Amino acid sequence: MALNPDPRVALPTYGRNLLAGLPEALLERPIVLTQPEPWDLVKAAFPNDRTQVHHVATMEHSVVQEVTTAFTGGSAVFGIGGGSALDHAKFTAWKTGLPLVLVPSILSVDAAYTKAIGIREGSRVRYVGAMFPDHFLIDYGILQAADPLLNRAGVGDILSIFTALWDWREAGTRLGEFHDAGIAAASEDLLQRMFDGAVEIGNCTEAGLHLLSELYVGEVRLCEMVGNARPEEGSEHYIAYCLEHQTRRHYLHGALVGMGVLLAGAIQGQDIAPVQRFLRDVQLDSSYRAVGTTRDEVRRCLLSMGDYVRHESQLLPGVFHFRGDIDATAADAALATAALGE
Ligand SMILES: [Zn+2]
């Protein structure tokens, strides 16, 4: 398997009031996909009479297609908000061929960093195309106006490196799967940089937000080089998916993945103390209560992980594939080590 040595990735511009610095031609007849709160923050930057605004409520394929077709003309497509607004803007720019401007309002989602366009078809998420922004604005003023928790939660998909790298290395050793030590080391370095910046990220300072954004850029690049998500996704996400499936509830992704890292790390036999320290310093509570679940639900989930990964055959092998079923003793030991509450 060959690495892609220099994949294309979206590169952000950092600062404040960045919309004001865009080329005027983009604001001739803008199409804006957004949500009420971020739109309130930025609408003064858009011409009242020539702006077509849509508040994104769903990413259902047929609706997204309908909304896209209803726009007339347009000088550029702006995605301003959370994951749905950004994905919708990517879709609309992809279909219309107009320039794309992405402005995340929170850093808890990676939609602005990845080229994939995620849309929904019923309960399934499908990726329908690839789109890079012409302008990618990380505006500190916009991010700092959001609930700090929604930025802190962005650490989850970097923290997952902690357990994903263990899975990947073991899959290399046990199954002969392709494993690249250089990529793994670079991924580990991203994790260490995040640990070192925990307090800044937790306080959502400019330095902290800049760091978190650069870590996303680095991580997306490493995954593109390998051609899969091995550097950042593994058994911690499988626990998250399984819990979502079993409880039929949605959770704040970063907090849920934080919980998954503690549990998967414990089952892998890793020392999870550095992760616990980091979660405390970054002020991201990943206890059962904060995540919105209970010890019983999580215990049931751990006991069924063997079945779950056998059934979800698209998941790359990790600790739940290697260990087979987790029995009650092992589940209770992991729950005790992770110390997520009562
Ligand atoms: Zn994730």
Cα of 313 vs centre of ligand 1, distance in Å, is 18
CA 108 to ligand 1 center in whole angstroms = 10
| Distance from C-alpha of 78 to C-alpha of 61, rounded to nearest angstrom | 19
Q: Are residues 308 and 167 in the same domain?
A: yes
143-197 pLDDT, tens digit per residue, is 999 999 999 999 999 999 999 999 999 999 999 999 999 999 999 999 999 999 9
Q: Are residues 200 and 282 in the same domain?
A: yes
157 CA from centroid of ligand 1 (Å): 5
Residues 229, 186 share a domain:
yes
Phi, psi angle pair for 17, to nearest 5°: 50, 40
Ligand 1 center to 156 CA (angstroms): 7
Q: Give, in order, the Cα–Cα distances in Å from 291 to each of 204, 212, 234, 244, 254.
A: 20, 21, 19, 11, 9
Residue 212 belongs to a domain with what CATH number?
Answer: 1.20.1090.10
* Mutual angle of helices 181-196 and 273-281, in 10-degree steps: 40
Domain boundary among 129, 144, 159: 144
By residue range, what is the domain housing residue 165? Answer: 148-338
152 Cα: distance to centroid of ligand 1 (angstroms): 14
Structurally, how many domains does the chain consist of?
2
Q: Please spell the DSSP secondary structure of 269-316, one letter per residue.
A: T---HHHHHHHHHTT---SHHHHT--HHHHHHHHHTHHHHHHHSTTSP
List, for residues 9-56, the tens digit of each pLDDT value. Answer: 999 999 999 999 999 999 999 999 999 999 999 999 999 999 999 999
Whether residues 156 and 192 share a domain: the answer is yes
Say if pTM beats, i.e. exceeds, 0.85.
yes
